[in-house]
Structure 1
Amino acid sequence: MIVTIMQPAYLPWLGFFDRIAASDVFIVLDHVAIDRNSKTKFANRNRIRTAQGWSWLTVPIRSKGKHGDLRLNEIEVNNETNWRAKHWRAIELNYRRAPYFDDYAPQFQAMFESAWIHLAALNAAGLKIFMEALSMEKKVLLSSEMDCQETKDQLIVELCRKAGAATYLSGPFGRDYLDPAAFQSAGVELLFHDYDHPAYRQSFEGFEPYMSAIDLLFNCGAESASILRRPQSLSAS
């Protein structure tokens, strides 16, 4: 059984879903603090295509508590600004002429019309929409419900053990911090997922990779799942 583990993300990109598609179980790493690396921080933001290239959609959050950073499943959405209407207007403005916008717009519009207190609940709602649209029937677990005691790379090994993993599918950055010997000792094969982004038709001239997967859905419809999986590459090093 192949397990992948990722922090929850807002309107995730294609590589996020390709890793899920290549796995049997997806563990949402929701009991750790938010990633503050500007290059990999996607818990509350992602990109959409625009006539000018692309633009960020960022959910305002309250990520600090009395004792420092909150865990991802504790982070609250800051609803003092009308970010939901702003995000939906931006999506509608840039995708309303996309060929499959009407097929998926109602689900996303309903998400933006709902009130959200916690970021985790918002991201879970988005994940469900995407997985249904991409016909992904995978088991989804929450790390916050798995009684984990370890930290850092040992946490990943512990989660794999608890999920009964034979193989752990890591993202490419896992090469920088995961200890292969720890996985070998646990009897878990360690593989890395390198995503070679596919090109597809977009609503504006040229092609911009690394957009939210809504870009693929609105432009390619039922073909999205097959386009998503074309470049899959898994390696042990």
Structure 2
Amino acid sequence: MKLLLHPTYLPNIATFAAIAQQEVVWEAHDNFQKQTYRNRCYICTDKGKHMLNIPIKHVGGDEGRQKYADVLMDNSYPWKKQHWRTLETAYRTSPFFEFYEDDIRPLFEGKEASLFEFNLKAVEIIGDCLGVPLASERTGKYELSPKDLVDTRFLVEAKKEKKPDLESYPQVFEERHGFIPNLSILDLLFNEGTNTLTYLKEQSLDFLHD
């Protein structure tokens, strides 16, 4: 059974575990909602859990009715440069940052405007690092209760997300802040490197069916 997922910004570990273990169909016809993982992710810096947020261009006054696939990133603000600088500062001492740096950096140098397509490109680049191909199938229309798909679109929720039971791994600032679970996949990649895919495939996906 295939999973129905939203493309999210530098997906969290629970979402990428699902991508690594199951076939995925991308939801391409939903409305954009603020305060979700569509345009934010979390990493760990020397100050603890830190949010990276992509600024977007809102159309008209009815922001909630904008289609996710139509949302444009606000590139008048140098957020890509800022996000990369933050990632570099946070992870430069991690074991595998330099190993993947040249693969990840181009994501923050392009001129993409579409948030949806940018997020898919990020998943593709990270997937290439892991040897996980990007799923190409997208929905043809929005369905509240999709047939023949496991609806895991709830993973996009940042405010009321479920707490998946994920194994711990060494983190750069663990001695200072303790282990912080379910950060962006980049936290796992920069800390675990070539062991990342093995880690993802060993995680339980029980949280998808709660």
TM-score interval (norm. to shorter):
0.7 to 0.9
Q: Which has the higher contact order (CA 8 A, sep 6+)?
A: 2
Match of 2:27 among 29, 34, 41: 29
Match of 2:188 among 216, 220, 231: 216
Instruction: Quote the residue 1:171 is aligned against.
Output: 152
TM normalised by structure 2 equals 0.85
Q: State how far apart, in whole Å, the 2-side matches of 1:119 and 1:79 are.
A: 11
**What letter matches 1:195 in structure 2?**
P
Instruction: Quote the residue 1:120 is aligned against.
Output: 116
Q: Confirm or deny that 1:71 pairs with 2:67.
A: yes
Q: State how far apart, in whole Å, the 1-side matches of 2:190 and 2:168 are.
A: 14
Q: Deviations over 1:104-128 (max 9, x none)?
A: 1112211101112111121011010
Aligned-partner SS, 1:202: coil
Aligned-partner SS, 1:46: strand
Q: Deviations over 1:64-92 (max 9, x none)?
A: 35775221111001112110110000000
Q: State how far apart, in whole Å, the 2-side matches of 1:118 and 1:233 are.
A: 30
The answer to whether the 8 A contact 1:23-1:169 is kept is no
**What letter matches 1:169 in structure 2?**
V
Provide the aligned length of Structure 1 versus Structure 2: 199
The answer to whether the 8 A contact 2:124-2:134 is kept is no
Instruction: Quote the residue 2:179 is aligned against.
Output: 207
Q: State how far apart, in whole Å, the 2-side matches of 1:112 and 1:172 are.
A: 26
Q: State how far apart, in whole Å, the 2-side matches of 1:33 and 1:172 are.
A: 12
Point out the structure with the larger strand share: 1
Q: Deviations over 1:26-79 (max 9, x none)?
A: 11112111233x4xx100000011111111000000243577522111100111
Q: State how far apart, in whole Å, the 2-side matches of 1:67 and 1:58 are.
A: 21
Instruction: Quote the residue 1:43 is aligned against.
Output: 38
Q: Deviations over 1:134-185 (max 9, x none)?
A: 2223643122xx2x2x5311xx22xx3xxxxxxx3343959xxxxxxxxxxx
Q: State how far apart, in whole Å, the 2-side matches of 1:30 and 1:62 are.
A: 19
Structure 2 unmatched ranges of 5 or more = 156-161
Structure 1 unmatched ranges of 5 or more = 161-167, 175-192
Q: How does 1:141-220 map to 2 (within 5 A)?
A: 141-143=137-139, 146=140, 148=141, 151-153=143-145, 156-157=146-147, 160=148, 168-171=149-152, 195-204=164-173, 205=175, 206-220=178-192
Q: State how far apart, in whole Å, the 2-side matches of 1:30 and 1:88 are.
A: 27
